[in-house]
Structure 1
Amino acid sequence: MPTHARPTDDPLQRERAHLAESRAALRTMRADTEALDLTDVTGNWVNAEVLRREINERIAALADLADAPLFFGRLDYHEPPGGERPGPEAGPLPGPPGERFYIGRRHVHDKDGDPMVIDWRAPVSQPFYRATPREPMGVRLRRRFGYTGGELTAYEDEHLTAAGLAGADVPASALLQAEIEKPRVGPMRDIVATIQPEQDEIVRADIGGTVCVQGAPGTGKTAVGLHRVAYLLYAHRERLARTGTLVVGPNRSFLRYIEQVLPALGEVDVAQATVEELVAHVPLRGSDSAAVARLKGDARMAEVLRRAVRSGVRMPSEGLVVVRGSRRWRVPAPEVEEIVRELLDRDIRYGAAREALPQRLAHAVLVRMERSGEAPDDRVQDAVARNPAVKALVKQVWPVVDPPRLVLRLLSDGDFLAECAEGILDGDEQRLLLWDRPARGVRTAPWSAADAVLVDEVTDLVRRTPSLGHVVLDEAQDLSPMQYRAVGRRCTTGSATVLGDIAQGTTPWATGSWAEALTHLGKADAVVEELTRGFRVPGKVIDYASRLLPSIAPDLTPATSVRDSPGSLSVRLVDPAELTAAVLAACRAALANEGSIGLIAADARVAALTAALDAAGMACLSPGDEASRACRLTLVPASLAKGLEYDFVVLEEPSAVVEGEADARTGLRRLYVALTRAVSGLSVVHSRPLPAVLAEGPVPSV
């Protein structure tokens, strides 16, 4: 990288000057892109529109975010004595000797095309995240930068090679720790400046395989998944531009919370959706009990639906007769039946088999033509396939399947369900599936979210679901087997990044193991990585929440935290009559600090707390609205807390959170989620006894 002239020998001023020059260069890059003249560049309006869309995406990606550092680190590569580099036995070195690279969110070059900032995803940037004193990867010095807003305010150097030669460890980075602990207001930020080595390995894993991340609270699994998307788009942009990428989250509140991460990294064309949005084939008008939803999400339903789809196929009672001119060509019923059974035995998709049947019947007719001395060609076969007699026979033996209507029949016709579920579901299970009121039609049927997944399964049995290049599935522990299948259909020829925590599974159908979940997803060969070192949740908070693990996920390794924050946890017992007042007081105390505040409570308490906050003149937001207006307090129903983070959390009445679920284990998992949303401090306020497993051992108090 060329060294530009600097007006001072003060290192901090030189770095500020480089930042100013880099921002100016980025503005020039954007202006040059905006000034592109596309007149007469393409031959037709379709290509022109595609090119214009790509240019607009490029312009958006070149936006300079004033409050986000353009670069956050620097790598100085080692110049060996005499100018010679270490031999091959030292391994490949990613940077040229003596070169200096600034590492940032996107590539920036000057007017001559020389790089001023290197994209964090480039191979030469990798040592910023992985180099150590014992394995410096050719790096002599690693410099981290500290920012206040968009202003560069500090730097910190790590002399890796010298420390490595001396066998010493580099002291923990104060700037890195400060960035991790920086208060947050609004939606989720990227962690590009603080990615840890174990996280970087997952981020840069090859696109050819699926990676499953079992991540304890605060280990950054969601951020890792999003940064992995950004990395794959950088490393395989042309491939993923053709096939597409998708981030699947548990709900819209969560997706709104994370939606700014990828744009901040320069990626503006990644789709986001919930599972319900992926399978939105029918209007949702009903809901299911936990038992019914669990049964509808059972993997056995896939075979019931497969039988239902194929149940309409009927063997012909008569043969096929095709009239062409003065000749009549006959295909006897046994031969037609043989063709139909062969297509059934091949087990291809129902719609593809139905499309193949006319051609197979036409071929049988052409064989007879050839035997009689004629020489028909492909045009004749196509004409025979379109013959009214062939069409009528296909309609009779292989009727069209409408997925919603088929599922409607299955859930409302006991005899049909019994036929399709024989040997798979017992009588009690079949009765549980049937709707308790008649459905008048597809549009008015009492469809539930679980029903929509069944319709999606049938839709795929009829016609293949298009596959994307890469799918990120977050909070994956909460999906049912049938939901896993629905997501898996979207990446059958692509790869996936699966993110979750078994201990945070709070649905009645939550998965018990990643091996089981990945099998349903169609990615049984996925690599499972475990993240247990927390960076966001204070040690005292995660230790307190981990008291629940023996009851909710005994096989998981308890998380540890790199942060020891004194005073980060308090548990206060109050009189029931004073509970609401004590909760509001805890919120006011939290608001005296910098950063965001989340008030988490059982869903049934949200309405009362909303009224209490209004009466007290304390404005609050709903989850996902953190970026909508200047307000630091969010009132969070416990059911929506998963995946969210706040600097300070006030948790009201843990026992009520547990009792808000259908069973005690699910309730304790919901409580585990609520306890681990705090980045800086957690205040638990309760008037009733704590759950027994949480109360074991000394309880912090104020």
Structure 2
Amino acid sequence: MTSGEIAFEQAYLTDLHERVDALREQAAAREATDFWRGELARLASVEDGLCFGRLDLRDGSRVYIGRLGLFEDDQPLLLDWRAPAARPFYTATAVDPHGVRRRRRITTRGRTVVALDDELLDAETGGDDLVGEGALLAALTADRTGRMHEIVTTLQAEQDRIVRDEHHGVLVVQGGPGTGKTAVALHRLAYLLYTRPQLRTRGVLVLGPSRVFLDYIGQVLPGLGEHTVVTATLSELWPGSPAEWVESAEVKGRADMADRVAAAVHAKVRVPDEAVEVGFEQQVLRLEPRACRRAVDSARERGLPYNQAKLVFDQEIVDRLASDSADRMESVVLTESGEAIDGGSADGRLSAADLRALAAAGVVVDFDFEGPRQVLDDTDRAGLRAALLADTGVRRVLDGLWPPLTAEQVITDLLGTPVRSTADLPLLDEAAAVLGEHGVPTFGHVVVDEAQELSAMDWRMVVRRCPTRSMTVVGDLAQTGSAAGATGWAEVLRPHVGERWRLAQLTVNYRT
């Protein structure tokens, strides 16, 4: 390594940092909006390792690679590592140099260049000006810090192919220990955020096996220029979740538990065998079993969640009761003393005699009629339905036939014990989905780490949060430790995405 080369790269790095400082000052002056606050955070996150590579091309041009893009008059001073033009930094080889003569890796500490490492990829151009040791050797012998922060500088070709995979469904990254599968998944996430900016508005979720692990990998994305990603453990998808594990976790994780939860919910709806008497004001209305059955069928045919279907059921029953109550009021009209004014016409409507009697009683009527008239207009009938729906006795009957439920109540009744374990959480989520109890937050892309440990019910909970079915799934089936975990990717993914998934293998152990 020569001091002249170090000085040259130091001057260039200093200029880049000065430009970032200027951008940071501009963002700080506009910090009132969420966008500029986010821009400030992004600029701060790339402070360490702003520029980490350089490509010298055969045509004599030079390209610097870093954590974000910087331009001057549309000319790139620093290419974002995710840009297509930066890809040869990761994929160029002596066999296929992609037009690259030399690849230089630049190691920095803060804003200081501390080391350079060159690789000659085109032997015909000569290599007298090379500095440093071999790139892979340098990466393997570097001191470990317990951080994944610098992996962006050493991605290998096999890893880069997966990072830039454009598959829009589920991409499974399968690899043994030391293959860098988690780092690859996170870099792919950063790449997708760069190439699919719409994901920023839809949100991105990273699921990990533990909060400690998520804090560890949380160092990666900010260093890649991304800081708006949500991280969570599986249990944190359900708020206020417990952490205890129980023996029946394997049973609770089976896919058929979804059917059992749905059946438990639907079994709560009751159709009476005999007519139900409903007291309303001075009337006793009768609700026939046939009317209840029609209301239940009508509500279920809508395909709505349980609690929303209950609203349909309640309205159908109230309409039936309101119609019966209105018919009674139409057929017999009473004076203030409770005596019948007239017996009514044969079809149950008010006759001309009824109308004359009402007029005599001070009720304004229209005598320009053709046949019997109705006392209740549409507004009156709507008011009657509202009164029935608000009546305590009527509500008691409605809730007895189609009870309001909570997810905790359903699962407690199903299991026979209170909800208390991590394995219960997907069941709670399933019950909430069947009930329509709440809307879960959804994301445009989800990364699942240690995915081999998820049960079939866990997968239902995860997929529910990703309606686009765009995921990066990371795992190693050979390391499955949970009795409810996966034994094959197809069996856990096909029920949710069909054939919209792809397997990518990592084969090189870079750790050893």
TM-score, normalised relative to structure 2: 0.76
1:462 CA displacement: 1.2
CA distance in structure 1 between the partners assigned to 2:380 and 2:192 by the alignment = 46
C-alpha spacing 1:451/1:376, structure 2 compared with 1 (3 Å) = farther
Q: Is the 8 A contact 1:216 1:532 kept in 2?
A: yes
1:321 CA displacement: 8.6
Task: Tell me which amino acid in the other structure corresponds to 1:409.
Answer: D
Matched residue SS, 2:246: coil
- For residues 41-89 of structure 1, the C-alpha deviation after alignment (integer angstroms, 9 at most, x for no partner) is xxxxxxxxxx2x33222111101656x322222234554xxxxxxxxxx
C-alpha spacing 1:127/1:377, structure 2 compared with 1 (3 Å) = farther
CA distance in structure 1 between the partners assigned to 2:397 and 2:159 by the alignment = 59
Q: What is the match of residue 470 of structure 2?
A: 495
Matches of residues 534-573 of structure 1 in structure 2 within 5 Å?
A: 534-536=509-511, 538=512
- 1:241 maps onto 2:200 in alignment: yes
Matches of residues 429-440 of structure 1 in structure 2 within 5 Å?
A: 435=417
- 1:508 maps onto 2:483 in alignment: yes
Q: Is the 8 A contact 1:102 1:117 kept in 2?
A: yes
Unaligned runs of 5+ in 1: 1-7, 39-50, 80-97, 164-171, 413-434, 436-444, 539-702
Match of 1:462 among 426, 435, 449: 435
CA distance in structure 2 between the partners assigned to 1:376 and 1:186 by the alignment = 77
Q: Is the 8 A contact 1:315 1:397 kept in 2?
A: yes
1:31 CA displacement: 1.3
CA distance in structure 2 between the partners assigned to 1:19 and 1:187 by the alignment = 23
CA distance in structure 1 between the partners assigned to 2:25 and 2:191 by the alignment = 26
Would you say how many aligned residue pairs link Structure 1 and Structure 2?
450
C-alpha spacing 1:468/1:319, structure 2 compared with 1 (3 Å) = farther
Matches of residues 469-484 of structure 1 in structure 2 within 5 Å?
A: 469-484=444-459
CA distance in structure 2 between the partners assigned to 1:217 and 1:376 by the alignment = 76
1:267 CA displacement: 1.4
1:364 CA displacement: 7.2
Task: Tell me which amino acid in the other structure corresponds to 2:66.
Answer: G
CA distance in structure 2 between the partners assigned to 1:497 and 1:519 by the alignment = 15
CA distance in structure 2 between the partners assigned to 1:379 and 1:100 by the alignment = 82
- For residues 514-572 of structure 1, the C-alpha deviation after alignment (integer angstroms, 9 at most, x for no partner) is 11222466565311111111212x2xxxxxxxxxxxxxxxxxxxxxxxxxxxxxxxxxx
CA distance in structure 1 between the partners assigned to 2:432 and 2:124 by the alignment = 62
Match of 1:59 among 19, 31, 40: 40
Match of 2:413 among 409, 412, 423: 409
Matched residue SS, 2:466: coil
Task: Tell me which amino acid in the other structure corresponds to 1:288.
Answer: V
Q: What is the match of residue 32 of structure 1?
A: 26
Task: Tell me which amino acid in the other structure corresponds to 2:87.
Answer: Q
Q: What is the match of residue 352 of structure 1?
A: 308
CA distance in structure 1 between the partners assigned to 2:58 and 2:318 by the alignment = 73
- 1:146 maps onto 2:106 in alignment: yes
Task: Tell me which amino acid in the other structure corresponds to 2:144.
Answer: R
Q: Is the 8 A contact 2:88 2:100 kept in 1?
A: no
C-alpha spacing 1:321/1:60, structure 2 compared with 1 (3 Å) = same
Q: Is the 8 A contact 2:207 2:234 kept in 1?
A: yes
Q: Which one has the largest radius of gyration?
A: 2
1:358 CA displacement: 4.1
Unaligned runs of 5+ in 2: 126-131, 327-348, 350-372
Q: Is the 8 A contact 1:280 1:452 kept in 2?
A: no
- 1:288 maps onto 2:249 in alignment: no
Deviates more, 1:152-161 or 1:479-488: 152-161
CA distance in structure 1 between the partners assigned to 2:133 and 2:192 by the alignment = 28
Q: What is the match of residue 403 of structure 2?
A: 399
- For residues 420-440 of structure 1, the C-alpha deviation after alignment (integer angstroms, 9 at most, x for no partner) is xxxxxxxxxxxxxxx5xxxxx
1:303 CA displacement: 1.3
- For residues 180-225 of structure 1, the C-alpha deviation after alignment (integer angstroms, 9 at most, x for no partner) is 4422123332411122223222222236211011111111100011
CA distance in structure 1 between the partners assigned to 2:444 and 2:37 by the alignment = 23
Q: What is the match of residue 135 of structure 2?
A: 175
Matched residue SS, 1:63: helix
Q: What is the match of residue 77 of structure 2?
A: 116
Q: Is the 8 A contact 2:242 2:422 kept in 1?
A: no
Task: Tell me which amino acid in the other structure corresponds to 2:138.
Answer: A
Matched residue SS, 1:217: coil
- 1:71 maps onto 2:30 in alignment: no
1:339 CA displacement: 3.2
CA distance in structure 2 between the partners assigned to 1:182 and 1:55 by the alignment = 36
C-alpha spacing 1:410/1:136, structure 2 compared with 1 (3 Å) = same
Task: Tell me which amino acid in the other structure corresponds to 1:478.
Answer: E
Q: What is the match of residue 424 of structure 2?
A: 451
Match of 1:301 among 232, 243, 257: 257
CA distance in structure 1 between the partners assigned to 2:170 and 2:52 by the alignment = 30
Matched residue SS, 2:104: strand
Task: Tell me which amino acid in the other structure corresponds to 1:531.
Answer: L
Q: Is the 8 A contact 2:94 2:120 kept in 1?
A: no
CA distance in structure 2 between the partners assigned to 1:378 and 1:332 by the alignment = 26
1:242 CA displacement: 2.5
Q: Is the 8 A contact 2:254 2:456 kept in 1?
A: yes
- For residues 4-28 of structure 1, the C-alpha deviation after alignment (integer angstroms, 9 at most, x for no partner) is xxxx995543322111100111111
Q: Is the 8 A contact 2:52 2:108 kept in 1?
A: no
Matched residue SS, 1:533: coil
Matched residue SS, 2:151: coil
1:318 CA displacement: 4.2
CA distance in structure 1 between the partners assigned to 2:71 and 2:252 by the alignment = 55
- 1:200 maps onto 2:160 in alignment: yes
Q: What is the match of residue 344 of structure 2?
A: none
Report 1 or 2 for greater relative contact order, CA contacts < 8 Å, sequence distance ≥ 6. Answer: 2
1:497 CA displacement: 0.9
CA distance in structure 1 between the partners assigned to 2:291 and 2:23 by the alignment = 68
CA distance in structure 2 between the partners assigned to 1:161 and 1:318 by the alignment = 94
Q: Is the 8 A contact 2:91 2:156 kept in 1?
A: yes
CA distance in structure 1 between the partners assigned to 2:379 and 2:164 by the alignment = 50
Q: Is the 8 A contact 1:282 1:452 kept in 2?
A: yes
CA distance in structure 2 between the partners assigned to 1:129 and 1:381 by the alignment = 70
C-alpha spacing 1:197/1:342, structure 2 compared with 1 (3 Å) = farther
Matched residue SS, 2:293: helix
Q: Is the 8 A contact 2:31 2:37 kept in 1?
A: no
Task: Tell me which amino acid in the other structure corresponds to 1:402.
Answer: T
CA distance in structure 1 between the partners assigned to 2:219 and 2:90 by the alignment = 23
CA distance in structure 1 between the partners assigned to 2:223 and 2:303 by the alignment = 46
RMSD: 3.8
Match of 2:89 among 120, 128, 148: 128
CA distance in structure 2 between the partners assigned to 1:496 and 1:36 by the alignment = 35
- 1:21 maps onto 2:3 in alignment: no
CA distance in structure 2 between the partners assigned to 1:512 and 1:383 by the alignment = 59
C-alpha spacing 1:350/1:102, structure 2 compared with 1 (3 Å) = same
Matched residue SS, 2:153: coil
- 1:156 maps onto 2:137 in alignment: no
Task: Tell me which amino acid in the other structure corresponds to 2:483.
Answer: P
Q: What is the match of residue 266 of structure 2?
A: 310
- For residues 637-662 of structure 1, the C-alpha deviation after alignment (integer angstroms, 9 at most, x for no partner) is xxxxxxxxxxxxxxxxxxxxxxxxxx
1:260 CA displacement: 0.6
